[in-house]
Each structure stands twice: as structure tokens, then as C-alpha cells.
């Protein structure tokens, strides 16, 4: 898989003034940097007027909180959300460019709210087709007809796609839609060969149908920008937050900056004698005398409970291994080699150049998206100082 | 391990009017029932004046939201929280009985707020001892001296416990504390033999020291009520929410009622032809023609992403298997045998007598506490109708 290097040299990791407490620092400047970096890749693909970019901000901007990242997304062409309520929220926060509603349980009345325009919606069922056909207001939204493809989560399969298109095209010609496009979500965007198959499959389905295309996501943009640059709109979510959508490489390796830094204070230090147990279930026993740090974060904050591989946190820039079971409120770490760290020292849990969220996800046997959306309401999100 | 049956017959599972949407219904009456059930067990242990009960409501009542469960906790003797801020919240919501702050990063000034009284605090470090020694206000809080025991998360070890006790006892005699108790958190409360060892260990440490004891938690109460009934205060968290703290038995098996029912609507139905893939990574292939239901809940709602065993959801009272990978926003299920279910049908994800949170946790290779505290802010908690 070909991965373009960013044109600029490795981005400078930004350092944040970290307040005391269990906290996620959200850096909108990192988001802006990542957006520009994606654009630069699309330009490299050789088109002066490259595709427009939907910034995906569903799930409260992948757990980063929309309010904190919005300022970093000013140069996006539109925001993509899941629900109607999120679209209203984006408008309330002052977003004036297009919004794409992707989940799209809507009625004609929902779509007629002039406060939502310019509005784009995905059409993925007969019910939605019928709702659009009852729309009184002109022009209605820009419709995107979803192909069910290999993902099969929703959308029209090959056998009914063109008939659905014909019905929407009639609405478009009658001035009842403001646009009509062709849209697909890949099932296997991380695997180049499979993704190309999915592309070819969809191209055969829509061959000859006019209208803009929107098929590429973060994984496609980063693994295959030559192609991705030829769409009309692309969608990017995870990469905007500085997180790699590709296995085996982290955001930094792709020239991205992490938008979230999760950290928590050490709230206590406990000497642990050789042979003594630690934590619930007494799963850990000290092989020698240890100095244990109690980090004020646990699975009730969204830190993963089950580590399938060795986990670490960063203390004063150094990796400390996690020892003992992670509890609801506490992570226990081996502080033996950092005698100067103690109560009040802040530990970084992810989002640092030396400890990426991708590496924590790997230790936890999951994907980084699950970690960032899973940070619970108990953890305040605080905007990074400019 | 001896498990007492509740005196009453199996509790009647409560049925809720479930609103459309991805939602967690919180039933304070179930919480009240569970509290009474625990009391009943303690009374069975033969004491007229059984131990008092701390209802543990940290992590926003284990993800249930404090505001929704507080009404069900009226008969608890006190609320146990982690942080000072949570104690203020309990007072703001009108709680007038004792509050125990368990995490206890406090200054003398924090503890002097008369609005927090009657206040109990855990003492688990030299720093905290010193703060209490500077307290000007009389009487100060009720202190509980934590033994670090086998858990070793915080507290005083055997070699310093009695010296710390002596310092606190001096404050008590001078009228500067309103009480002084002995407290322990077990590392292995689920394993009776180990728990008994931990008890004996602590008893040897505090032998001869006067003061109330607080050592037993939900697991201890349910596995060994004869002993648990002999303490002065007990702490219960998970069991109050109707969830079993013991392996191999769910809340219902212990005579408890689930306080949270998580459900989500089916938002679409997708035919899947034999041989066709489903979901991200195309990890599932249909062996025969299937009718797939798309449930509007995913890992961004806190549903576990990695199932290590077969997962199911309940549709119209029937178990439907989860097929394909769980995505950020969608769970895909096999609806082939329930033709009458379709868009708008609500699926129960856990908290039903036929689908306990314990069984979902087992499928996900985790513990139920991680699931209930991990339900994200995207999921509204709604009070069950009375």
C-alpha cells in the first residue's frame, strides 16, 4: 500500500499546559493542521480543484466535543453528522456551509427547516425516497444515493440502485432537489485490493449516471490519494483528529497531529514489598520492592480495562508500565525508576508523540476510535491554549 | 460459596414503556427494591440492628445518573462518592444523611464547609493525616482509617496502621473528629477463601482498637452475609443497580432487579443474499439468505465492540444473534425469524430478565460494571415511569 509522505517535514508535536486533574486537552490547531495536511495530499494528486471535504463530526466529534474542534474546521467544505439534532447543533454554533446528515431518519417536515440549509442528506431506503417525493419546499436538500455495496449496512443494492436514482433524478429535474450525488461507504478501506474491488463494483453500478461522487474516507485518502483525489467530495473523520485509520502506522507516521491528549494526576504512591499482591484479583505480585504510582483514571473514565499487551503511561516523558488490574477509578504503574514523580505529577495516558492512542488501542485489542469516543462524561474536555 | 436466597419469591421483572430511540431507562424502584433486598439479607444474619449501609454512587451512580437513582436510595444510611464535587452535588440534590468521600484528595478547608456535614472521609496517606491535624472547625468529619491490605491501592500497611490510628484517636478525644472507624477494601471479595484471609489479616492489625468497622462490599454481602452482618457499616454499589458482583450468577439469580435497561430502535432492514458479506472488514458472510436488522447503537454509545463470544439482542422478547462487526453507530442482527419486526421496533440490548448485562459482559470478555459506566453521553438516561 502506497503511503504518501506529507510535503512538509514531520510536524512539530505541540506541547500543552496541562491542568491538574483527569482531563482531555483538545487542540483545534491540530485539527486545522490535519485538515490542511489532507488537502495537501489531495492537491499532490494533481488536481487544482481537488475534491471538497466533509469533516465528519458525529459522536460529538469522535469524543473530542464539537464545540472545541469547530474552530479548527473552518476550512472544511461541510460537516457530516449522523442525526438531525447534530445538524441543528452545528447551525446553532454558527456553521453556515453545507451539512450532510448521514443516518437520515427524517421526515419531509424535518428537511424543510430553512435554518438547516444548505442541507445534504443520504438516501438509503424506500421510506426516505418516499419522504423526499412528498417534499413541498423548493429546492429541497441535496440528496446522496447510497449504494449498499459490501458493507450492507444500508443503501440500495445493485439491482435497485438505478431505479432509485431515476426517481430522485426526476425530483432534481423538477427543481425539487438542489443536487443528486452517488455515495458509498467501503467495507474494507484499509485493505487496498479489496477497496479497489469495491470501487470497481460501484462504478459498474452507476456507469453513465451523472452527478457528483462521494466514496472516499480517511483510510482511502491516506492509502490511495491518487484515486481519492478524483472524487467530487471526500469524507474524513478519524484522520482529522490526528488518528491513523490504517493498521501498522500511527497518526504521526502519516504526518498528523493528535487532537486529544488524555492525562491524569498521580494521586498517591504506595510502596509494594517483594512478593506483595496489587490490585483487584491480586493478579500482580511484585518480583522486587516497587514504588507504585496510583493514577487517577480508570475504566469509568473510558480507559480500557482489559489490556491484551503491556500497557504504559508517560510520566515526565518516560514510559512507566501499568501493573495490576485497571479498576474503575485507578491505574497502577511502576514508578520505581522515577523517584522525583509523586502525588500531583500529571501522567499522560495517550495523545503524545511518545505514547499514541494507536499504541494504547493495540495494547487493549481495539481500535483508537473506540477509545476516543469512549472517554466518559466524567472527564472534562478542555481547549488547548492557543 | 454460600449464597442466600432472597426471602421473597423471585422478584417480578418490571416492564417499562420504552420511548423510541437509543435510550437507557433508569428504574429507581428497582434500586429501592435491591436496597431492601440487601437489608433483608443482613437482617437474616440475625441482628436486629444490622450494619448501616453506604450506597456507593460514584461515577454518576455507575453510569445510571445520580439524579435518577437518588429517589430509590432514600432508605440508605449514607451515600459514598469518590470526589468532593460529588459530595456537593448530593447535598445540592437534597441528601441530608451522611456522605462518605472515598477518594479523598482534600484540604482542611474543603472539609470545613458546614454544607457538607455530616461528612465522613477516608484517611489513606500521611498527607491526609496532616490535613486533619490542622482542622480548626469542631467537630470535624468522621474519619475512616484505610488499611492497604492486599489491594495496595492506598491506605496504611500493617506496620504504620496503629501509629496512624493513634494520631487520629488523639484528634477524636480532643473533639476534633466526630468519629473514627476502621476500613478496608478487599482485593478478592469474589473468592470466599481469599476474602476470609484478608479479613483475618486486617483483624490482626486492628486488634484491640475501638471504633466502628467498614469492610464489606456487595460481593461480601451476597456471598457471606453471616459475617457481613457483623460489621457496623457496609458498602454496596454494583448490587444496588441490580448487577451481580459474583461470577457465574446474574442479578436475577441473587434476587435483584436491573436498574438500567438499554435499548435502541431498529432503523433499517437489509436483505443479505447467501454468500454476501456484512459490515466493516467483511468479517461475516451469509450462509443463506438473511434478513438483517440495523440497530441504532454502536461502540460510540458504549456498546462493547469486541465480542469474544456470541452476542445477542432481544427483539419482541426473542433473542437475535449479532452478526458482522459492531460499528461506531450500528449493531447488525439476524432478523430472519422475526418477519414482523422492522424499522421502529425497539431492541433491548441489556437489562431484561432474558438478557442480563452480566451475559453481555461475558460475551464481551469484561465485567458488567465496565458496561454500565461506559454508556456514553450520547445515550439519554430516562426515568422509568412509576
Residue A22 lies in a domain: no
- B277 and B199 assigned to the same domain: no
Calpha distance A158→A141 (Å, rounded): 24
Q: Specify whether B280 is catalytic.
A: yes
Percent helix / strand / coil, chain A, rounded to 5: 30, 25, 45
The per-residue pLDDT for A105 is 76
- B188 and B314 assigned to the same domain: no
Domain boundary among B191, B211, B241: B241
Domain boundary among A243, A276, A304: A243
Q: State whether residue A366 sits within 8 Å of chain B by CB.
A: yes
- A316 and A176 assigned to the same domain: no
H or E element at residue B318: strand B318-321
- pLDDT lower than 50: segments of chain A: 1-8
B327: domain CATH number?
Answer: 2.40.37.10
Q: Which domain holds residue A43?
A: 28-243
A146: domain CATH number?
Answer: 3.20.20.10
- B89 and B170 assigned to the same domain: yes
- Summarised one tens digit per residue, pLDDT across range B363-380 is 999 999 999 999 999 999
Q: How many CB atoms lie within 10 A of CB B267?
A: 24
CA atoms within a 13 Å half-sphere pointing along the CA-CB vector of B29: 11
Give me the sign of the Cα torsion angle B327, B333, B339, B342: negative
Answer yes or no: are the C-beta atoms of A127 and A110 closer than 8 Å. Answer: no
The per-residue pLDDT for A192 is 85
Beta bridge partners of B319: B314
Calpha distance B245→B222 (Å, rounded): 8
Mean pLDDT, chain B, rounded, equals 92
- Summarised one tens digit per residue, pLDDT across range A285-316 is 999 999 999 999 999 999 999 988 889 999 99
- B190 and B114 assigned to the same domain: yes
The per-residue pLDDT for A88 is 96
Answer yes or no: are the C-beta atoms of A122 and A96 closer than 8 Å. Answer: no
Q: Which of B184, B275, B300, B303 best tests the A interface by mutation, with the highest count of A CBs <10 A? A: B300
Looking at beta carbons, which residues of chain B come within 8 Å of A302? 374
Distances (CA, A) of B161 to B155, B195, B371: 8, 20, 36
Q: Which of A268, A271, A334 best tests the B interface by mutation, with the highest count of B CBs <10 A? A: A268
Residue A276 lies in a domain: yes
Residue A361 lies in a domain: yes
Residue A308 lies in a domain: yes
Tell which B residues from 172 to 211 touch A, by Cβ distance under 8 Å: 187-188, 194
- A69 and A153 assigned to the same domain: yes
Tell which A residues from 203 to 262 touch B, by Cβ distance under 8 Å: none
Strand segments, DSSP code E, in chain A are 23-26, 52-56, 78-81, 99-101, 119-123, 142-147, 179-184, 213-216, 233-236, 260-272, 277-278, 284-285, 290-295, 312-315, 318-321, 331-334, 346-350, 381-383
Calpha distance A185→A127 (Å, rounded): 20
- A265 and A239 assigned to the same domain: no
Q: Tell me how many domains chain A contains.
A: 2
- A175 and A310 assigned to the same domain: no
Answer yes or no: are the C-beta atoms of B180 and B211 closer than 8 Å. Answer: yes
Looking at beta carbons, which residues of chain A come within 8 Å of B103? 267, 296, 329
Distances (CA, A) of A295 to A232, A310, A315, A316, A334: 47, 17, 10, 14, 11
Percent helix / strand / coil, chain B, rounded to 5: 30, 25, 45
The C-alpha R_g of chain A, in whole angstroms, comes to 23
Whether A277 and B187 lie within 8 Å, measured CB to CB: yes
Residue B98: φ, ψ to 5°: -60, 150
pLDDT, mean of residues B40-67: 87
**Of B215, B191, B219, which is closest to residue B203 (Cα–Cα)?**
B215
- B179 and B295 assigned to the same domain: no
Residue B251 lies in a domain: no
Q: How far apart are the first and last CA of chain B?
A: 36
Calpha distance B212→B221 (Å, rounded): 17
Question: Of B2, B28, B33, B58, which residue is the catalytic one?
Answer: B58
Q: State whether residue A327 sits within 8 Å of chain B by CB.
A: yes
**Of A80, A78, A36, A77, which is closest to residue A57 (Cα–Cα)?**
A80
The C-alpha R_g of chain B, in whole angstroms, comes to 23
The per-residue pLDDT for A64 is 98
- A238 and A299 assigned to the same domain: no
Calpha distance A371→B157 (Å, rounded): 35
- Summarised one tens digit per residue, pLDDT across range B54-93 is 999 999 999 999 999 999 999 999 999 999 999 999 999 9
Residue B8 lies in a domain: no
**Of A174, A179, A168, which is closest to residue A141 (Cα–Cα)?**
A179
- A163 and A280 assigned to the same domain: no
Whether A58 and B300 lie within 8 Å, measured CB to CB: yes
The per-residue pLDDT for A81 is 97
- Res. B288: pLDDT tops 80: yes
The per-residue pLDDT for B187 is 95
Residue B167 lies in a domain: yes
Question: Of B97, B161, B165, B280, which residue is the catalytic one?
Answer: B280
Domain boundary among B241, B270, B288: B241
- A197 and A264 assigned to the same domain: no
Amino acid at each position: 500500500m502506497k503511503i504518501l509522505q506529507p510535503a512538509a517535514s514531520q510536524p512539530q508535536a505541540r506541547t500543552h499546559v496541562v491542568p491538574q486533574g483527569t482531563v482531555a486537552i483538545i487542540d483545534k490547531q491540530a485539527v486545522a493542521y490535519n485538515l490542511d495536511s489532507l488537502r495537501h495530499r489531495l492537491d499532490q494528486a494533481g488536481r487544482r480543484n481537488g475534491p471538497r471535504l466533509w469533516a465528519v463530526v458525529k459522536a460529538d466529534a469522535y469524543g473530542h466535543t464539537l464545540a472545541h474542534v469547530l474552530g479548527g474546521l473552518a476550512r472544511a467544505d461541510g460537516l457530516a453528522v449522523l442525526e438531525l439534532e447534530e445538524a441543528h447543533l452545528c447551525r446553532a454554533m454558527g456553521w453556515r456551509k453545507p451539512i450532510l446528515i448521514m443516518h437520515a431518519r427524517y421526515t419531509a417536515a424535518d428537511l424543510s427547516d430553512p435554518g438547516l440549509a444548505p442541507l445534504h442528506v443520504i438516501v438509503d431506503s424506500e421510506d426516505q425516497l418516499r419522504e423526499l417525493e412528498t417534499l413541498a419546499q423548493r429546492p429541497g436538500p441535496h440528496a446522496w444515493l447510497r449504494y449498499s455495496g459490501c458493507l450492507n449496512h444500508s443503501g440500495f443494492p445493485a439491482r435497485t440502485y438505478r431505479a432509485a436514482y431515476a426517481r430522485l433524478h426526476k425530483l432534481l429535474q423538477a427543481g425539487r432537489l438542489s443536487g443528486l450525488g452517488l455515495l458509498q461507504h467501503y467495507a474494507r478501506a484499509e485493505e487496498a485490493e479489496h477497496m479497489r474491488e469495491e470501487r470497481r463494483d460501484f462504478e459498474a453500478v452507476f456507469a453513465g449516471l451523472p452527478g457528483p461522487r462521494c466514496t472516499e474516507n480517511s483510510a482511502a485518502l491516506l492509502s490511495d490519494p491518487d484515486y481519492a483525489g478524483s472524487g467530487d467530495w471526500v469524507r474524513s473523520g478519524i484522520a482529522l483528529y490526528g488518528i491513523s485509520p490504517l493498521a501498522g502506522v500511527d497518526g504521526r507516521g502519516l504526518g498528523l497531529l493528535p487532537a486529544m491528549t488524555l492525562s491524569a494526576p498521580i494521586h498517591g504512591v504506595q510502596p509494594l514489598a517483594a512478593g506483595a499482591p496489587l490490585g483487584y484479583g491480586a493478579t500482580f505480585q511484585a518480583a522486587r520492592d516497587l514504588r507504585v504510582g496510583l493514577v487517577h483514571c480508570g475504566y469509568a473514565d473510558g480507559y480500557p480495562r482489559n489490556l491484551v499487551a503491556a500497557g504504559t503511561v508517560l510520566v515526565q516523558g518516560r514510559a512507566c508500565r501499568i501493573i495490576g488490574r485497571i479498576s474503575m477509578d485507578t491505574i497502577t504503574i511502576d514508578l520505581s525508576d522515577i523517584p522525583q514523580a509523586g502525588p500531583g505529577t500529571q501522567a499522560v495516558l495517550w495523545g503524545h508523540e511518545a505514547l499514541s492512542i494507536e499504541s494504547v488501542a493495540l495494547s487493549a485489542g481495539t481500535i483508537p476510535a473506540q477509545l476516543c469516543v469512549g472517554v466518559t462524561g466524567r472527564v472534562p474536555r478542555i481547549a488547548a491554549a492557543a
